Amino acid sequence: MPHPALPPGPAKGVEVRIAPAGPELLSFRYTLAGRLGGVKIPGRRASLRADELWRHTCFEAFLKAPGGSGYRELNFSPSGEWAAYRFDAYRAGMAVDPELDVPQLDIRSAADVLEMRAQVRLPSVLCAAPALAVALAAVVESIDGTLSYWALRHAGAKPDFHHPEGFMLELAR
């Protein structure tokens, strides 16, 4: 759902599917539906790690062992760029996550749908967890530069994908 305090822009909806793709792999499929002519979609680039992808249209996932305070953040851009971070606690101890390898990304678009598939190899600490607590999100940039923020749950007056209440999905391993 879009953040209630901000206009949804040209997006009509964001759907995310997440599933195990093997003992150490997770597969994500993000589908952005709406007037894509009104969405600023980053141009294709090399599949490299990049920071601040959230400043433009991108898809995000946050993963942690249930009950733990540390978590991982994954960002996938339609440009093909990606990012992976680890946090020790809520917005604390942020560092580039060296355990995450280059994800496999597949991006497709049509007049009214943008689909991004991502497959990632999980770090060992998450592989060992019996389940994962998951928060899923998307940032959608309009042609005029306005951002809309989409998530399973918005916990505050301002968009905050890191908020502990956003980890509302549990994925059994």
**Is residue 11 scored above 90 in pLDDT?**
yes
> Distance (Å, rounded) from C-alpha 25 to C-alpha 44?
24
Domains along the sequence of the chain with CATH:
11-172 (2.60.40.1190)
How large a percentage of the chain has pLDDT more than 90?
80
| Residue 1: other Cβ atoms inside 10 A | 12
Predicted local confidence at residue 100, as pLDDT = 85
Identify the pLDDT of residue 115: 97
Query: What pLDDT shows up at residue 101?
Result: 82
Mean pLDDT for the stretch of residues 39-61: 94
What is residue 110's predicted lDDT score, i.e. its pLDDT?
86
Q: Is the pLDDT of residue 150 over 90?
A: yes
Please compute the mean of the pLDDT values over residues 37-61 and round it to a whole number: 94
Closest-CA residue to 37 (of 144, 115, 169) = 144
How confident is the model over 111-133, as pLDDT tens digits?
899 999 999 998 888 888 899 99
53-110 confidence digits (pLDDT tens):
999 999 999 999 988 899 999 999 999 999 999 999 999 999 999 888 889 999 999 8
List for the chain the helix, strand, coil content (%; round to 5). 10, 45, 45
How would residue 35 be classed by pLDDT, with cut points 50, 70 and 90?
Answer: very high
Report the mean per-residue pLDDT for the chain: 94
Q: What is the reported pLDDT for 144? A: 96
